[in-house]
Structure 1
Amino acid sequence: MLPYEILLNIFFSCKNLANKDILSKSDPMIELYMNDTFIGRTEKVKNNLNPSFSTPIKVTYNFEKLQNLTIKIIDVDNDNNNTGDNLGNVKTTLGELVSQEPGTAFTLPVNDGKGTISMTYEEIIPSIRKTLTSDYVALGNGLVTQEVKKGSSYKIVVDKFIINAKGIDLEKKDLFGKSDPYYYIYRLIGGNKILIYKSEIIKSNLNPIWKTTEIYTENLDTNCFSQGQKYWIEVYDYDKYGSDDLIGEVELEDLFYEISPDGQEFRGELTDKSRKNKYKKRGEIVLNITHTVNIKEETVNSYKVISNYTFAKNLKAYPNLQSTVSFIDAMKMGMKLNVICAVDYTSSNGSMHDVVAHTMNPYQTALSAVGQVLEPYDHDKKFSFLGYGGHKNGEFPPYFTVGETEQVDGGIQGILETYARTRDMIKMGDMGTAKGGDMDWRANNGKYYCDDFYQIINAISDKAENDMMTKFPPGSHQLPSDYYIIFFVIDGDGFDMDGTIRALVRASSLPVSIVLIGVGDGSFANLSKFDADGMPLTVDEVSTIRDIVQFVKFNECKTDGTVDMIKLAAEVLAEIPTQVETFIGLYGCNIVNNV
């Protein structure tokens, strides 16, 4: 979840409103209701049929909820209770407003009146977001994680700086012993210090030699390689029972600029300007820094995922990838959300796929609950609709289009109609092996059981990867033009754990989020593992770099036997804004993409 709530200010203006006053023009005011609850009102603008209201109305934005808006326009006759003649109204959703084309107002015709109303919005930026920084930013030209085929070769590049540091004649800070020194290296940017490295503590030593450390270039900002970049070195004395004492500090320059394999020495005299004798020498620190680049080529003997960055290997916890560019910023900068629906047609579903008039089966309910929330964000209201685990047209592929084409017009209603219309055309599959596609190299030992769904993840990842490499390549810091949300409605549990985790590891470094809704009475032991909130998933020694999966059991969203569709959607969609922001943070996306 986001570490803050999203608050928006909505601004309103109108044109060509109806005139309800005889001797003058209308005095319009806006009232805003969300899901029939009063939220706020603007000021009254006197004698004006084309008002621009200066008072915004503040709302709390929840991506995971369908937030219906009703905008009422009132010609105020009584200032005491803000009542008057009705000039019309407009109905829309907050999602439709947020997903508008960047730089354009959201304009709609006024119902039960005349004229138009236009809306714009801005995010109220909390102070906490101004301080968010990513632990890691992928600065190179390669994806953080990627797949490689059996028999293919790839290059492993190890580009690193090696630092050997020592202190000379450090100041004695302990009354009954010597100092226990350690040091920090910070990069200076503006008035801020960005931590690069903290050393270990050397006990009771005024001439410490700290252990050799390696800093990989992938973990350094590109400014570190520029001439003139300044750094701040602080040396402290560790105290077991109190606060650590500053021994001294010094500013150095160009620590990582054009360093050769032969290395370069940097020396600095330590001072403490907070003390009375602020220019007194408190010792000296010496950094010997070398730069090495090793490239080797490796041929793989089986399909696997690799990482081009060491920070994505064998993770025990997800890194902080938050950035100052928010989900709302991304939407305003033109990022589009693409929705992909995927349905399980395996025979274990039994009657859950039965289509009965005037009622909804679990698949229809789940598709409707999630789809109606996502629909306002899909820019062309065309959802991709895929199925797996079933036979279509006499074939048993790893996945297939449910309708005649992958994309279905008409948003979620089009999906529901296509699902019902094609139900008898798709034969539910048993536990046999699906055939075709790229099973010969992506599946585990060439076997792909119909309960497995990761080939759909790989298919969407193929699109997302192609987008990245052609439209907003890694290292360009451009915002993705398209972000993909795949939501599965599943009865099975997935059998090929390694195959699924490989697909998730790969997708975690792409603009992709995944929603899993488990229908039926199964335990979903494997599906619940894929929703790895606390511990990254790892295979081939490479980990999911972002938490991109949200899983919920359909039956746990029932109240008195009836599915709570609002709760179901909220459970599986609440983390989408965070997932978008962590992708932005991972690649440092802060440039508008005009592709």
Structure 2
Amino acid sequence: TWITSCSWCICLRLVGVGHNMAAQCVTKVELTVSCENLMDKDIGSKSDPLCVLLMNSSDSQWFEVARTEKVQNCLNPKFAKKVSIDYYFEIVQKLKFGIYDIDNKTVDLNDDDFLGELECTLGQVKCFLYSHPLPLQQTHTCIIAEEIKDNRVVNFEVQARKLDNKDFFGKSDPYLEFYKQTETGWQLAHRTEVVKNNLNPCWRPFRIPLQSLCGGDMEKPIKVECYDYDNDGSHDLIGAFETTMTHLQQASHVSPAEFECINSKKKQKKKGYKNSGIVSVKLCQVVKEYTFLDYIMGGCQINFTVAIDFTGSNGDPKSPQSLHYISPQGVNEYLSAIWSVGNVIQDYDSDKMFPAFGFGAQIPPTWQVSHEFPLNFNPSNPFCAGVEGVVQAYRACLPQVKLYGPTNFSPIINHVACFAKQALQQTTASQYFVLLIITDGVITDMDETRNAIVNASRLPMSVIIVGVGGADFSAMEFLDGDDGRLRSQTGEAALRDIVQFVPFRQFQNAPREALSKSVLAEIPGQLVEFLNTMKLAPPNSNPASAMTVSS
């Protein structure tokens, strides 16, 4: 039920996949969320809404699946970030959509204002139209589902010139929105980043699924709107135009496809009005995109590395108050995180041999502090046999080291990045690396860690951080680039978001699979995004046929 007055529109794309997967996954579902008339919780401005999707597990525990981006100062948000989940015909999949007014950079939503929530099942929204009136109010939820059999994407390179200046002080801060035409109106397909203070912007290259843009119909109208971004949410329309994929595909660097940005209100009022600027499309290339299953079934191996925090802030492992204390039942938060993540990811590694490291401890025989030591104390062979081997190595290592500090992440990130860099020299997508860091506290080498992550964003690699204990993990949210692009100390932007942070305390009373689902939710998308961007085909496939440009 709703606590507050608002209305929703949740649009679903059904992406066809193979029927022989475990548990008979029928299809993938992509959700697009928009809201109207949200409550204003901010004084002097508007709410800054974010949508979080939770699912209900078999033992009735809710766990987080994904979040959209935060929309600044907006009571009628259209979230650009899509959410993908698997649809199983034979299982009742309960969904909960929660909207929060985000007032800080912490991951925990308990300190943000709750605006409302909606519960339903995925079965209820599998139809093409689902309408549900909200209690005690006149608004309703609209859910649209569309089956996708086309896995092509469109790569864009776009710039503009001579855009209207909408700001009194400085210049416009332009961004673009691409819309697909549907039976019920225009549906947001993509929103670019904002280019600050620039009337001749050049946006970063981006990609849009062809189905999201035009439903695979090259003649279907596409609307593009150009806005001037304002911090208070009152974004000014600079101009708009309509086109088709047929026209857009004629674009090239030598001969761009150019469109006049027309502001209809300004055109009516101003005699001699020509346009509000020119949008120039320099590249519009349709390619077939490999899916996560294409890569895994085509021979791409996921290499899993574990790094465990042995700093003094964890407490004496002999004390029950210590995060490293192993209970009489043989568990602690570190072991729970290792089991939860490792049990899932080991199925994607053929040899199931995982390197496992510790950091922040004094190690024998010299008792020097090390930020990158093998749990088995064998630098030439730090591998452990499966998740059980990692657990055994951790248990054996714990009484042999002295917990110390500081908490440095960059050495272990750079260590894994070296192997990822070697893998990038291959001509196919043979390997992808996932680093799991389990930690209890604030990072000491933040600047070096930022640099390491920015460098790693250009490699076949992802970083998962699980925070154990009750410390303040706000710095981790900074590294998780969901709400903005991480930058190095020198200002260099990360190529993509490769960090996923999850606080373990959110899953203490949840089943083990809830943590693994949340922690690993972004890995398939990160792997697919990187390998497709690098135009790397699976080892066991035909690259020529898979990357063919469509007419």
Question: TM-score, length-normalised on structure 2?
Answer: 0.50
- Measured after TM superposition, the shift of residue 129 of structure 1 is 4.9
* 1:459-512 deviation digits (Å, cap 9, x = unpaired): 1111111221x323xxxxx3x211001111101210232211111111111111
Deviating beyond 6 angstroms after TM superposition, the runs of 4 or more aligned structure 1 residues are 59-62, 161-165, 211-220, 240-243, 249-255
Residue 544 of structure 1: aligned partner:
494
The answer to whether residue 464 in structure 2 is matched with residue 509 in structure 1 is: no
Q: Distance in 1 between matches of 2:240 and 2:206?
A: 29
Structure 1 residues 570 and 387: alpha-carbon distance in aligned structure 2, compared to 1, 3 A threshold: same
RMSD: 5.2
* Aligned pairs (5 A) from 1:205-216: none
Residue 399 of structure 1: aligned partner:
372
What is the aligned counterpart of 1:377 among 333, 337, 348? 348
Indicate the percent of aligned positions where both proteins have the same amino acid: 24
C-alpha contact 2:409 2:445 (8 A) present in aligned 1? no
Q: Distance in 2 between matches of 1:407 and 1:375?
A: 16
Q: Distance in 1 between matches of 2:156 and 2:459?
A: 18
Q: Distance in 2 between matches of 1:217 and 1:534?
A: 17
* 1:186-209 deviation digits (Å, cap 9, x = unpaired): xxxxxxxxxxxxxxxxxxxxxxxx
* 1:391-437 deviation digits (Å, cap 9, x = unpaired): 1122212211111335434310111111111211111114xxxxxxx
Q: Distance in 2 between matches of 1:576 and 1:251?
A: 32
SS for the counterpart of 2:482 is: coil
C-alpha contact 1:346 1:429 (8 A) present in aligned 2? yes
Structure 1 residues 254 and 329: alpha-carbon distance in aligned structure 2, compared to 1, 3 A threshold: closer
Q: Distance in 2 between matches of 1:252 and 1:354?
A: 61
C-alpha contact 1:162 1:212 (8 A) present in aligned 2? no
C-alpha contact 1:335 1:481 (8 A) present in aligned 2? yes
* Aligned pairs (5 A) from 1:297-336: 324-336=289-301
Q: Distance in 1 between matches of 2:393 and 2:449?
A: 28
The answer to whether residue 386 in structure 2 is matched with residue 411 in structure 1 is: yes
* 1:14-43 deviation digits (Å, cap 9, x = unpaired): xxxxxxxxxxxxxxxxxx994xxxx6xxxx
Q: Distance in 2 between matches of 1:128 and 1:10?
A: 14
C-alpha contact 2:466 2:504 (8 A) present in aligned 1? yes
What is the aligned counterpart of 1:9 among 6, 10, 18? 18
The answer to whether residue 516 in structure 2 is matched with residue 569 in structure 1 is: yes
* Aligned pairs (5 A) from 1:165-244: none
Structure 1 residues 587 and 402: alpha-carbon distance in aligned structure 2, compared to 1, 3 A threshold: same
What is the aligned counterpart of 1:453 among 409, 415, 429? 409
Structure 1 residues 554 and 377: alpha-carbon distance in aligned structure 2, compared to 1, 3 A threshold: same
Structure 1 residues 266 and 583: alpha-carbon distance in aligned structure 2, compared to 1, 3 A threshold: closer
Q: Distance in 1 between matches of 2:372 and 2:239?
A: 62
Q: Distance in 2 between matches of 1:356 and 1:564?
A: 18
C-alpha contact 1:134 1:586 (8 A) present in aligned 2? no
What is the aligned counterpart of 1:341 among 296, 306, 310? 306
Q: Distance in 1 between matches of 2:299 and 2:473?
A: 37
C-alpha contact 1:344 1:387 (8 A) present in aligned 2? yes
Q: Distance in 1 between matches of 2:287 and 2:500?
A: 18
Residue 107 of structure 1: aligned partner:
none
Q: Distance in 2 between matches of 1:370 and 1:566?
A: 9
Larger Rg: 1
Q: Distance in 1 between matches of 2:338 and 2:296?
A: 24
Q: Distance in 1 between matches of 2:377 and 2:397?
A: 9
The answer to whether residue 437 in structure 2 is matched with residue 428 in structure 1 is: no
- Measured after TM superposition, the shift of residue 372 of structure 1 is 0.8
* Aligned pairs (5 A) from 1:358-373: 358-373=329-344
C-alpha contact 1:453 1:494 (8 A) present in aligned 2? yes
Structure 1 residues 61 and 464: alpha-carbon distance in aligned structure 2, compared to 1, 3 A threshold: farther
* 1:291-339 deviation digits (Å, cap 9, x = unpaired): xxxxxxxxxxxxxxxxxxxxxxxxxxxxxx9972111111122110000
Residue 120 of structure 2: aligned partner:
none
Residue 97 of structure 2: aligned partner:
none
Q: Distance in 2 between matches of 1:366 and 1:532?
A: 22
Aligned AA for 2:398?
A: R
C-alpha contact 2:479 2:486 (8 A) present in aligned 1? yes
Q: Distance in 2 between matches of 1:33 and 1:219?
A: 33
* 1:236-271 deviation digits (Å, cap 9, x = unpaired): 9x9x9998699xx999999656x9xxxxx999xxxx
SS for the counterpart of 1:452 is: coil
Residue 186 of structure 2: aligned partner:
none
* 1:42-61 deviation digits (Å, cap 9, x = unpaired): xxxxxxxxxxxxxxx84779
Residue 153 of structure 2: aligned partner:
132
Q: Distance in 2 between matches of 1:537 and 1:417?
A: 36
- Measured after TM superposition, the shift of residue 217 of structure 1 is 12
**Number of residues paired by the alignment?**
333
* 1:538-586 deviation digits (Å, cap 9, x = unpaired): 1222112211111111111122xxx531211111111111111110232
C-alpha contact 2:155 2:205 (8 A) present in aligned 1? no
* Aligned pairs (5 A) from 1:23-38: 34=23
Structure 1 residues 251 and 379: alpha-carbon distance in aligned structure 2, compared to 1, 3 A threshold: closer
C-alpha contact 1:352 1:361 (8 A) present in aligned 2? yes
Q: Distance in 2 between matches of 1:566 and 1:126?
A: 28
Structure 1 residues 128 and 509: alpha-carbon distance in aligned structure 2, compared to 1, 3 A threshold: farther
Unpaired stretches in structure 1, ≥5 consecutive residues: 12-31, 40-56, 69-93, 95-124, 137-160, 166-210, 221-233, 260-264, 268-286, 290-320, 431-449, 473-477
* 1:214-251 deviation digits (Å, cap 9, x = unpaired): 9899999xxxxxxxxxxxxx9x9x9x9998699xx999
SS for the counterpart of 2:432 is: strand
Structure 1 residues 509 and 424: alpha-carbon distance in aligned structure 2, compared to 1, 3 A threshold: same
Residue 553 of structure 1: aligned partner:
503
The answer to whether residue 468 in structure 2 is matched with residue 519 in structure 1 is: yes
- Measured after TM superposition, the shift of residue 4 of structure 1 is 5.4
Aligned AA for 2:528?
A: E
Q: Distance in 2 between matches of 1:353 and 1:130?
A: 46
Residue 71 of structure 2: aligned partner:
none
C-alpha contact 1:481 1:593 (8 A) present in aligned 2? no
Residue 142 of structure 2: aligned partner:
none
Q: Distance in 2 between matches of 1:250 and 1:377?
A: 42
SS for the counterpart of 1:542 is: coil
Structure 1 residues 531 and 128: alpha-carbon distance in aligned structure 2, compared to 1, 3 A threshold: farther
Structure 1 residues 420 and 4: alpha-carbon distance in aligned structure 2, compared to 1, 3 A threshold: farther
Of 354-363 and 509-518, the range deviating more from structure 2: 354-363
Structure 1 residues 508 and 593: alpha-carbon distance in aligned structure 2, compared to 1, 3 A threshold: farther
Residue 426 of structure 2: aligned partner:
471
C-alpha contact 2:303 2:434 (8 A) present in aligned 1? yes
